[in-house]
Structure 1
C-alpha cells in the first residue's frame, strides 16, 4: 500500500468505529438531492414542510447558527446531525461541519485537509468546498475534488480513511459530488488535463475501477496533445444510477458528451455527443425517456429514448427531442406528476413535458438561481442569491404560493428532516419548521 493512500484506523479500530454508530440510525437526507437523488421530498415529510417563514419576525424560524468560511456544499442529515463542508477563501484549509439538528449547536468544525498551494479558482462563482457530502447510517463521505476524499465516522467525526492521490487540474475549482452505489463510492473528475470517473471501495477507499472519458474534443495536435487549455474539457457533474432496459447504468455527463457506464465495472456502454461544457445537472428518467442537460455554454436539455439498443454512439438513433434555449445550467431539474421543471441561472423557470420536450409554461423569477430546487407534494421551492425562496405550484399553470426572504444569498440546496427545512446561506444555517 502506497504512502499516499493511508488508512487512518487499524482493522479493529475501524470495526469498533462502525459499531459505535447503530445501523438503525435514521438517515433523513443522505444526498444533496435527497433520498431519491432527484430533489423530491418523501410524501410523509412533504405535507409537514412550512409554506412561509420570516427571518425578521421569527415566523417559523426554529434556530439559526452563524457559519465561517465559504462553501456551496448542501447539507446531509442523519439522526440528530447535519453535515456539510466549508473552506477558507484561499483554499488552504477545508473543514467539516457537524451541527446538532435539534439545537443548532456546532459539534464539529474540524479541519479535514490542508493545502499549501491550491490552484486558483478563476471563477467568482465557485469556492473550495463546492462538492456536497453523502451519508449512510454508519459513514459520511466527504469530497473536495483533487484536494482529497475521506470516509468519516459520523459517531465521532473522525477519518476512517482518506485519499489524496486522485488528482486533476480543476482550473475553475472542484464541483462534482460523490455518490454511493452498493459498496462503491463513485467520484467524477472532469479537469482540463484529465477527465475520468472512478469507483472506490467505500469501506477501504481502494480503487475498484477507473474509466477515462473517450470524448473527441476536436482540438488535438499531431501528437495527440490539446492545442488549447481551458473550459471546454470541464464539467461539474454528479452522476446517477438507473436501470435502463434491464442494465444498471451509471449516467454521467461530461464536457461535449454524456456516457452510460456499467456501474459495477466502469465499462463504457454508450455515449451521446453534445456541444456543451460545465455540465452540472443530474440526469432524470421519466417513463422511457432519459433527460440530460448539457452544461452552461449553449446549454441544451435533451430527451434520450431508453431501450435495449443503447450501445455505442446513440446520438443520432436515440435523441428524441432537443430543447435548445433557456435551459438550466446549475440548478437541477425536478420531475413532479409527469411534468419537468427547470430554472436558469437568470431565473427563467419552465414547466415542460418530459416525453415530448414541449413547453407547458415559462415565467421569470428575480435573482440568480444556483441552488437546486426541491419538490414537496405539489410545491416547488426555488431559492436565489438574494435570500429569496419562492414556493410555486408544481402544476400545469404558473402559480406563486409564497415568497420568503432570508438575510443572505443561497447557493446550497435545502435539506429536509422530520418536517423541517434546513437552509444554508452564505453566512448562516437555518432550521425552518411550522411552530
Structure 2
C-alpha cells in the first residue's frame, strides 16, 4: 500500500507530458561543461575548414546505444543534412517524406533539448521520384554568429536569426531539376554565400550577399558533352545507350558537390565540382580561371574538394576517380595539371581526408584505403569489417579516423601508414549524414535521432520525455 501511494504521488507531481523515467543517462565522473573555441566551431559541412578535421582531444573511441551517450534526441521526418555547431547550438534540417514542408531544427548542446523547430518553406510540387536515393533536406546548413543559412536546392534558401528563429531573408527563384533531389551544401567566404545548382536541365553557380540575399553574380556552366558518346566509350551497346537517354535525359548534367575556397599564390579560388568538369572561379566575380575534365562517367560528383600540399583533391562521381590537381594555369588544364589520379576504391559520394602526408578515403562499398598524398601511391586497402555502404565522409581527430556506415556501425582506425582498427561501435541506427565535433563531444545524426557522444556517460535504457520529444538524462 505504501509503495502504491508513493508511485501515485510521483505521478501527480510529474509535469504534463513527462513519463516516469524507465531508465536514465548518468554521468560516471565529475560534471564538465562543453568548451569550444569559436575558430573550432563545426559550423559547416566537414567542419571549420571544410576538410573533415578537428583539433578536439579526448573523444571517445568506444561507444554504443548505451555507452558514452550523453543524450539522444529524436528528429522528426527525414533529412540527411549533417549537424553544424555554433556556441551551444546544434543545427540541422529535415523535411516531410513527401517534401511538402521543410524545417530547420536547433538542439541545445548541453541538454539535447530542441530549442527551435522552424518551418522554413512549404513546397507546392516537390520531386516525387528517387526517394530511396536522397531526401528533400540533404544539403548541410552553414551557421555563424546570430545567423544560419539553410539551403534546400531548388526549393529555396533562407537566412534565419539563430536567437529568435525568425527568417531574415529567403530566395526561391533559383531553380533546376535535381532529378535525385538536392544535396549540394552552401559555403561562405567573407560577405558572400555560394550556392550550386547542377540539374539535368540547367547548371549554374550563384554568389549572394549573405546579409541581404541579393545576387552578386551568377555563372552558367553547361558543359558541351554528348551523353551517347560517353556511354559508348564506356562500352554500352546502342540499345543500352538509347534506353538510358530516353529514361534519364540529361543525366550527365547533374551533380551534388559542395565548393570550397582556397588561396594559391596570393589569389583566392573557388573550387567547384560540377557534372563532368571541376571548375576554378574567381570568387569575387565568377570569372573562370581553369577547368579539369572528369574521366569516364564524370557526373554525379558529390564531394567537397580539399586543398593540401599545394594540390586540390576531389572525386568525380560515377566514374569514381580521385584527382590531385595543381591549381595554376588557365583554361582546360586536364592534360597539364593533373599530378596524379587514382581509381582503385575511390568513392563516388564520401569526400577524402588528408592527415599530414597521407590521404584516407572510404569507398561507397566500405573499403577504407590510405594513399601518399603527394604521389597517389596506395599504402593499404582494407574492407571495414562492419561492412555495408558508407555515404558519410570520414572525420579525423586526435590521431583517429571515424567512419560512419549505413548499417549503424562507426569504425574507428588509427591515422597511420598501416591499417589498425581501434573499435567498431554498433548502433540500432543507420548513418548517412557526416559526423560533427563540439568540444570533446561527437555529434552523430542517424536517420531518426541526433546523438551526443562523450566520455563517462552511461545510458542504461530509454527515458523518454513526451513533451520535449527526446531521450533525456537524469
CA 1:31–1:321 in structure 2 vs 1: closer, same or farther (change >3 Å)?
A: same
**Which of the numbers 213, 219, 229 marks the counterpart of 1:211?**
219
User: How do residues 42-121 of structure 1 correspond to structure 2 at under 5 angstroms?
Assistant: 42=55, 45=56, 47-55=57-65, 58-121=66-129
Counterpart residue number, 2:421: 400
User: How do residues 288-307 of structure 1 correspond to structure 2 at under 5 angstroms?
Assistant: 288-295=310-317, 297-307=318-328
Matched, 1:357 2:376: yes
DSSP 3-state at the match of 2:455:
coil
Gaps of 5+ in 2: 1-36, 229-244, 457-474
Counterpart residue number, 2:442: 421
Matched, 1:28 2:18: no
Q: Please give the per-residue CA displacement for 1:104-161, whole angstroms capped at 9, x wherever unaligned.
A: 1112222111111112232512010000000111210000000010001101111100
User: How do residues 308-347 of structure 1 correspond to structure 2 at under 5 angstroms?
Assistant: 310-347=329-366
Q: Please give the per-residue CA displacement for 1:382-418, whole angstroms capped at 9, x wherever unaligned.
A: 0101110010011100000111112110111111112
Alpha-carbon distance, 1:231 to partner: 2.0
DSSP 3-state at the match of 1:120:
coil
User: How do residues 215-230 of structure 1 correspond to structure 2 at under 5 angstroms?
Assistant: 215-218=223-226, 229-230=249-250
Matched, 1:282 2:304: yes
Assess if the C-alpha contact under 8 Å between 2:206 and 2:219 holds in 1.
yes
Matched, 1:180 2:201: no
Aligned length: 400
Q: Distance in 2 between matches of 1:105 and 1:75?
A: 15
Assess if the C-alpha contact under 8 Å between 2:431 and 2:445 holds in 1.
yes
DSSP 3-state at the match of 1:395:
coil
Assess if the C-alpha contact under 8 Å between 1:145 and 1:176 holds in 2.
yes
Alpha-carbon distance, 1:25 to partner: 7.2
Q: Distance in 2 between matches of 1:393 and 1:98?
A: 32
Q: Distance in 1 between matches of 2:363 and 2:255?
A: 17
Assess if the C-alpha contact under 8 Å between 1:178 and 1:188 holds in 2.
yes
Q: Distance in 2 between matches of 1:238 and 1:25?
A: 23
Q: Please give the per-residue CA displacement for 1:61-96, whole angstroms capped at 9, x wherever unaligned.
A: 111111211100001111211100001110001111
Between 177-186 and 27-36, report the one with greater CA deviation.
27-36
Assess if the C-alpha contact under 8 Å between 2:349 and 2:364 holds in 1.
yes
Q: Distance in 1 between matches of 2:341 and 2:39?
A: 40
Gaps of 5+ in 1: 1-23, 221-225
Larger relative contact order, structure 1 or 2 (CA cutoff 8 Å, min sep 6): 2
Counterpart residue number, 2:152: 144
Q: Please give the per-residue CA displacement for 1:186-244, whole angstroms capped at 9, x wherever unaligned.
A: 00000011101100000000000001114222259xxxxx9971421110010001112
CA 1:393–1:156 in structure 2 vs 1: closer, same or farther (change >3 Å)?
A: same
Matched, 1:37 2:50: yes
Q: Distance in 2 between matches of 1:198 and 1:381?
A: 33
Assess if the C-alpha contact under 8 Å between 1:188 and 1:238 holds in 2.
yes
Q: Distance in 2 between matches of 1:270 and 1:36?
A: 23
In the superposition, the TM-score normalised over structure 1's length comes to: 0.89
Between 323-332 and 186-195, report the one with greater CA deviation.
323-332
Assess if the C-alpha contact under 8 Å between 2:222 and 2:253 holds in 1.
no
Larger helix share, 1 or 2: 2
Q: Please give the per-residue CA displacement for 1:317-338, whole angstroms capped at 9, x wherever unaligned.
A: 1112121232111111100121
Alpha-carbon distance, 1:247 to partner: 1.9
Alpha-carbon distance, 1:377 to partner: 2.2
**Which of the numbers 253, 276, 294 marks the counterpart of 1:233?**
253
Q: Please give the per-residue CA displacement for 1:47-66, whole angstroms capped at 9, x wherever unaligned.
A: 221111121xx221111111
Q: Distance in 2 between matches of 1:175 and 1:421?
A: 23
**Structure of higher CA gyration radius:** 2
Assess if the C-alpha contact under 8 Å between 1:298 and 1:325 holds in 2.
no
Matched, 1:373 2:394: yes
